[in-house]
A and B are shown apart, each in its own frame.
Chain A
Amino acid sequence: MLSGRAAIAGVGATEFSKQSGRTELRLAAEAVWAALDDAGLSPADVDGMVTYSQDANQEIAVARETGVGELTFFSRVEYGGGAACGTVAHAAMAVATGLARTVVCYRAFNERSGRRFGRPDAGLGGEPTSQGLEMSWHVPFGLVTPAAWVAMFARRYMHAFGATSEDFGRVAVTMRRHAATNPAAWFHGRPITLEEHQTSRWIAEPLHLLDCCQESDGAVALVVTSAERARDLRHPPAVVAAAAQGSGAGQMMMTSYYRDDMTGLPEMSVVARRLWEMSGLSPADVQAAILYDHFTPFVLTQLEELGFCGRGEAPGFVRDEGIGLDGRLPVNPHGGQLGEAYIHGMNGIAEAVRQLRGSAANQLAGVTNVLVTAGTGVPTSGLVLSTG
């Protein structure tokens, strides 16, 4: 079993900005150094590197740049932001099986000042690979942006459950409120109101601008090693109580519109079942959830798929019980990707580690277990991280 075998011993990050002024490889190297410093390890201790698709920095390049020598394990996990927690899952597997002793997971990019993720890419459907063919049923119709792909699910969710744009807005307002008191957040000191959400311009109806996360420049790195070794390092370990990847039946990259139901996230259901089973925990046992929030509607869907409320009940859950710092389930105390930065989920994993250590900007009391999820609408992954 994987549970309890590996831990995150170090986290590191660059500043989060709209224009880093540095190359993506340099951002990666800076974050890796910061994570190693945080763990109290040196490049010589590292023998594994993991990142995920769309990262412009090859594992070997980051290793070269940081003075990491021989690698016995390297992996690049697929499906973009859906792989964020998958990097830790792969690293933990490598550590648990002895393939590597210390694995660095990283994400680095200039996705605001460089290649912008929110921009349409006309070439998405260009090549007859399986993904190009999949995109070819959507891209020719101008359905080319992540916001629009997600909006298609959101509209059906609204239709099925009577959800409204304000229900999405309450997620955004909460995330921005958290970011407002997190000095590392891009939107530090800049909360929003529900009215501002409602009057922000349309991106892809039913999504307003403030339903969409920002585009950021920055990097985050994590150091994964055995739980046993982690206990001897500088900080209390964030033990990997569970790690899972998940893909649903009939899964597509971001356009799984052809399955029976468009109101759920079956791939997140796969991850949820595995996480609760592997960790032996239940939704009632976590003190915080780091939910992937590139777009607000899928935060609602995740609350349902992960078992925090029933199907169609998330709007009421958010409105009446709350996902704020003092709510029934605090979600993304750092402000999430809507408020802190959009580093494809890696900054959320770092926040979970800080909450377990007790060193977060918006520190919650008595945190022993944190749930973390990765990109939604795509094949995804998740973690339960615990103290001890």
Chain B
Amino acid sequence: MPVRIEADAELPELALDLTPTLVVSTALATRDFTPVHHDPALARAQGSADIFLNILTTMGLVERFVTDWAGPRAVIERIDVRLGVPAYAGDRLSFSGAVASSEDGRVTVRVRGRVSLGDHATGTVTLRVPDDLPEEDG
């Protein structure tokens, strides 16, 4: 199915169960050793409901959400994220998005990542698609 990059085209949703394994493995893969991302007792002692995603992971997942859709030829130029509620272990993070603009191979995508508490991350991703061609999927 060809990817449509006209304005308003919607990205396929990406939903992730935020297992402790996902929270902890991404924290360590981004070299973020802050205890609130891997130590539930300490996270709760500091007033959190549980361990939660670190920001480097949020940025990584936003990038993945867009490149999953845009494909390997897309070049990410910019990711702007406004951070909202925490994404706790045990919650589900659902990304949705739509093309905001597409001009001369430069595409801006609006992205929203939601958890049960509300918006975890909202923002835009700017990318270049070199050939200005729709990407083939599969």
**Do A and B touch (CB < 8 Å)?**
no
